[in-house]
Chains A and B, each alone.
Chain A
Amino acid sequence: MTGAAPILSLEGISKSYPGVRALNDVSLHLMPGEVLGLIGENGAGKSTLMKVLGGVVAPSAGRIRVGGREWSRLTVADAQGAGIAFVHQELNLFDNLDVAANVLFGREPLRGGPLRLVDRAAARARVAPLLARLGADFTPDTPVAALSIAQRQLVEIAKALAAEARIIIFDEPTSSLTLAETARLLSVVQELRAAGTAIIYITHRLAEIVDCADRVVCLRDGRMAGTLARHEIGHATMIRLMIGRELRALYTPPARPPGPGGLRAEGLVTTAFPRATADLDIRAGEILGLAGLVGAGRTSLARTLFGLDPARAGRVMLDGRPLRLASPRDAVAAGIYLAPEDRKAAGLILSLPIAENVSLASLRRFARFFLLDRQAEREVAERQARALRLKAPHVGVAAGTLSGGNQQKVVLAKWLSMAPRVILFDEPTRGIDAGAKGEIYALMRALADEGVAILMISSDMEEVIGVSDRIAVMHEGRISGILNRDLFSEQAVLRLAIGQTEEAGA
């Protein structure tokens, strides 16, 4: 392939958001018939880079060259016109339509002149050979709703082929696939490469990169961390590229060793991973970090502990007493609270005032003969707002008007105004600026020192290592390892997160 012109090259791509540099001078190129593995931790900038390629995000600086043309920013139409197609983690299919309609969406063969009727026979005839090429075991008139995730992925690929894509970007394509399905997908990737398609393959599963990539590019903190040629690709070399950054000192040690109580889950089976069991011990007075890759089942575990999703098996005990967790009501009654990942959808009612959000979970407390004592409600909210140093004009303003960090404080105020025993934080600082992050960490520590058991789910490695007293790592629904503070390292966490045991990765 030497001597040939790259089909895609990115030069000096940067993207800044207020307060964050998501991409910093990233350059890469892609040859026809090449599979480029793109790796990096959660938040390293892979998604942003791909959004730049898809025309969804405009870069702040840099040039994009595809084929012979050059842009400073792409639109979605530019990207599609240039032959860039995506096979996403979250599938973008209409599951109420059949396969042929999805594959040819927007370019349906027409008949009937001005009536613009869809020529369904022609559509099927055009889609059938694409499916055959991908080795699909379903027909063009199958409804998408009837297909498995793996089959839907093939539909996405067929869609890319129908669009005559020259560059196909696979974004975590195998996160929901079984081993056999993954093997088949990888053989499809080989087939595409042989036909001259250029491929960018993004995954956390390093084994797949070893299997299929010709070259690896690694991003770290929005910058290029390095490139590996085919013969250099290996687990150890890739992990070394992905980490390797000084951690800032975030850690405040607990005031006293963890107490005897806490929340204990034994043999817990969540609905997301019906074949895996998880055991977890969150001790009173400690901050237990819960690390893992996106989709490892961490949120699902927290939802089960909070009673949102039923446990398929296993039991949960608080201070040694078994709990019945059929609904969040049971969890709240037991003093187990969740600060959810999606604050806007699940943590708050944005249109309601701060005070009403704070009182929502403990409203009965403010009932005097079934009427609400709004004065008392307001006082409690004001006390919490002061304690948490909430930045808001007064507690009567709608929660939706606050910044991310202050919204998170309202969620916390709701729980702190009650009597917390266990607080489950799911990505507590996502979308929160650096200053407010520090305040949230300090708050978690203060709560732990008061004897609250704290679980902190986080995809931010710096945060997990910097804040936790112990780290539990999840992989595909089970706890793949628990690290004590003296064993903390990004390498150790990452190895457990990709499902390796300590020995195998060394």
Chain B
Amino acid sequence: MTRKDLGLGLLLVVIGAITALLNPLFLSTVNLLNMANLIGLFGIFSIGQGLIIITGGIDLSVGAMFALLGVVFVDLLVNYEVFWPYAVLIVLVAGLLLGALHGVLVTRLGMQPFVVTLCGLLIYRGAARYYTQDGTMGFGYAGDLDTLTWLASGRSFGIPHPFLALVVVALVVGVLLHRSVFGRYLYAVGRNEEAARHSGIDTRAVVVGAYLLGGLLAGLSTVLLVFYTSSVSPSSFGNFYELYAIAAAVLGGCSLRGGEGSVLGIVLGTVLLQILQNLVNILGIPSSLNFAVMGSVILMGVLADQQLGRRRAALATA
């Protein structure tokens, strides 16, 4: 656990305690489980975003990917009556392919990640809306989806499955990022690509790897999100979610310059964002202020981290 993660954890406890004091409902089981569910949903693709940010890139397209993959997924299940494991597999593979596309455009053709994924955002959102002629897709009288519904939105031991999924993803990616060769390469490439190349590392493959993982996690998130809302309206589904993910990653200690960040930090960042949302609801703050509160807290958090970091650096050299 880094100092950054520790600081973030403390901030979480403080904000949580304040909220709980102001409104005891915050700690009610219903509220906590509801929050856990949302943390699971948002955390998974935030981790994917974080991996890409660690390479020095960014993915603006995840929200639109949810819409496109979401309508395809529902269409496969409802209209084509594809056996659900195949439908899930197709969505995961489609996520991987989109990630591969971004990675290749960034590494082989030297395009800027911001531009590539901004165009992705526009294209996928447009494609999703065209695909359904802007109509909302729901499950209606689809066949036997009980198993999948239970898997994606049910509970085990009282804990929502998306949260359990996040725990598994965080453990796997955490080990990958912090204990594996690939993870070490990812940090090296994000921090100093030139030196990594001088060490004989295939830097382009490493970057593509991050986009692949990001795409895969976006695919997984699509499945969970579709069952959370149980319908997909292509113009609003997943709207702004890329910004939640970027916010969680940055709040969690990822630097947009690359080479910095941890899985634990990203998860804590996600938790903090959800607590803030919850705080707005539960304290009766007008929900129109939702974004403003989020923005202010991120701004202050990053500013505080920077100032503390500077003071620490000054102390270290003194």
Taking beta carbons and an 8 Å cutoff, which residues of A are in contact with B?
A: 306, 308, 327-329, 331-333, 338, 340, 345-352, 356, 360-361, 363-364, 366-367, 370-372, 374, 414
Contact = CB atoms under 8 A, between A and B. Distances in A.
Output the residue of B194, B198, B200 with the most chain A CB within 10 A.
B198
B195 A370 contact: no
B197 A360 contact: no
A346 B191 contact: no
Contact of A329 (B184, B188, B195, B201): B201
A345 B181 contact: no
B195 A346 contact: yes
B117 to A, nearest CB: 25
B181 A329 contact: no
A347 B202 contact: no
B179 interface: yes
A349 B181 contact: no
B181 A360 contact: no
A371 B198 contact: no
Given A327-B197, A348-B195, A349-B188, 9 more contacts: A345-B194, A352-B188, A352-B191, A356-B184, A370-B180, A371-B175, A371-B179, A371-B180, A372-B179
A413 B124 CA distance: 48
Given A348-B195, A351-B259, A364 B181 contact: yes
Contacts of B259: 351
A337 to B, nearest CB: 9
Contacts of A370: 180-181
Contact of A361 (B175, B192, B199): B199
A414 B201 CA distance: 13
Interface of B: 175, 179-181, 184-185, 187-188, 191-192, 194-202, 259
B199 A360 contact: yes
Given A349-B191, A351-B259, A352-B191, A360 B196 contact: yes
Contact of B195 (A331, A347, A363, A371): A347
A237 to B, nearest CB: 43
Contacts of A367: 180-181
Contacts of A306: 198
A383 to B, nearest CB: 19
A289 B6 CA distance: 52
Contacts of B185: 363
A210 to B, nearest CB: 41
B194 A360 contact: no
Given A351-B259, A360-B188, A340 B198 contact: yes
A366 B181 CA distance: 8
A367 B183 CA distance: 12
A399 to B, nearest CB: 10
Nearest to A303: B198
**Most chain A CB inside 10 Å of its own CB: which residue of B185, B188, B191, B192:** B192
B199 A332 contact: yes
A338 B195 CA distance: 11
Given A363-B185, A372-B179, A372-B181, A345 B192 contact: yes
Given A363-B185, A372-B181, A351 B198 contact: no
Given A371-B175, A372-B184, A328 B199 contact: yes
Contacts of A366: 181
B191 A351 contact: yes
A349 B202 contact: no
A360 B184 CA distance: 8
Nearest to A414: B199
Contact of A347 (B184, B188, B198, B200): B198
A329 B187 CA distance: 18
Contacts of B181: 363-364, 366-367, 370, 372
A340 B198 CA distance: 8
A326 to B, nearest CB: 11
Nearest to B317: A401
Given A356-B184, A372-B179, A345 B195 contact: yes
A209 B24 CA distance: 86
A362 to B, nearest CB: 9
Contacts of A333: 200
Nearest to A415: B199
A348 B191 CA distance: 10
Contacts of A331: 200
Contacts of B191: 349, 351-352
Contact of B197 (A328, A352, A356, A371): A328
Contacts of B175: 371
A340 B200 CA distance: 13
A325 to B, nearest CB: 12
A301 B184 CA distance: 30
B193 to A, nearest CB: 10
B180 A349 contact: no
Contacts of B194: 345-346
14 contacts: A328-B198, A329-B202, A332-B199, A340-B198, A346-B195, A349-B188, A349-B191, A349-B196, A352-B191, A360-B188, A366-B181, A371-B179, A372-B181, A414-B199
A367 B196 CA distance: 18
A388 B179 CA distance: 28
A340 B187 CA distance: 21
B202 A327 contact: yes
Q: Which among B179, B184, B185 has the greatest number of chain A C-beta atoms within 10 A?
A: B184
Contacts of B179: 371-372, 374
Contacts of B180: 367, 370-372
B198 A308 contact: yes
Given A349-B188, A356-B184, A363-B185, A308 B199 contact: no
Given A363-B184, A371-B175, A332 B196 contact: no
Nearest to A356: B184
A359 to B, nearest CB: 8
A366 B188 CA distance: 16
B187 A338 contact: no
Nearest to A361: B199
B198 A346 contact: yes
Given A367-B181, A370-B180, A371-B175, A360 B192 contact: no
